[in-house]
Amino acid sequence: MLALQNIGKRYGHGRWILSGVTFSIEPGDHVYVAGPNGSGKSTLLRLIAGVSRPSRGRITGRPAIVGYVPDRFPADGAMSSLAYLTHVGRIRGLATGVARLRAGHWLERLELAGGVRTPIRALSKGNAQKVALSQALMVRPELLVLDEPWSGLDAAAHRVFEEILGEVDTVIFTDHRASTARRNATRSLTLGDGLPAPSVAHIVVTNRYGTARPVPPHVGQTKTAHLKVPGDECDEVLHRLLSNNWSIEEVRRS
């Protein structure tokens, strides 16, 4: 259904958050994305949901209807949960009456506490998370993308949400509780472990004229410098070195 081919992501000229990610999600998959903090789990989910674009590679086969729950739901709004979800439903093409009914259905099923007309900013974290989950379900998603969906939920809501997951065909999600996550997954994907890491370039340069501007700054006015940079940034670093009067003696990748 959905395929990621050699996906890489970075912001500006910063480090690569993801590199060389290739995998596919088939109809019926419930994929648990695992990995240590900083491995790019949230970034990967944003790419799959279509709210961010890869810096390289391509994503094909994304379905028309994707439900997405981000890791940080904007829970400071003045709108009530009922008004907010009705508005979301209308944006997604539902008539106002239908949107209001669906909003009420999900809030009741997830047992929202505090009242459907209470401003979202006045709700507890767990109840705001119920609103976040509800907005992703307002129109039945062909793919449900969830970043820490159990965050803040009480035990009763945990059970209800696991029932809801069983009713959705295709899901990809992450959660810091591995036991809960694996119980709701048909397979898993681990970042920062099983995926190929970017290569490293070892560069040896000399200062031909003694007037070069150092790249990077900590090199100083030395005659010879040994640099180690991410392989994906090698060409850019070489260009900067040559532009600043450095002579390239050796480039080696590992």
Q: Mind listing the pLDDT tens digit for each residue in 109-134?
A: 999 998 899 999 999 989 999 999 99
d(CA 234, CA 220): 20
Say if residue 194's pLDDT is above 70: no
Q: Which of 61-70, 78-87, 209-218, 225-234 has the lowest mean pLDDT?
A: 209-218
d(CA 251, CA 254): 10
**Token code pair at residue 99:** 């949107």
Please, which residues bridge with residue 32 across strands? 173, 188
Confidence of residue 108 (pLDDT cuts 50, 70, 90): very high
d(CA 135, CA 118): 16
Query: 1-63+170-198 and 64-169: same fold?
Result: yes
Say if residue 183's pLDDT is above 50: yes
Three-state SS string over 37-53 comes to CCCCHHHHHHHHHCCCC
The helix/strand count (H/E) of the chain reads as 7, 11
CB–CB of 39/91 below 8 Å?
Answer: no
Say if residue 193's pLDDT is above 50: no
Say if residue 235's pLDDT is above 70: no
Instruction: Give the list of residues 6+ apart from residue 104 with CB closer than 8 angstroms, or none.
Output: 82, 116
Architecture of 1-63+170-198 per CATH?
3-Layer(aba) Sandwich (3.40)
- Spell out the domain ranges in the chain: 1-63+170-198, 64-169, 200-253
Q: Which of 15-19, 24-28, 133-137, 200-204 has the lowest mean pLDDT?
A: 200-204
Architecture of 64-169 per CATH?
3-Layer(aba) Sandwich (3.40)
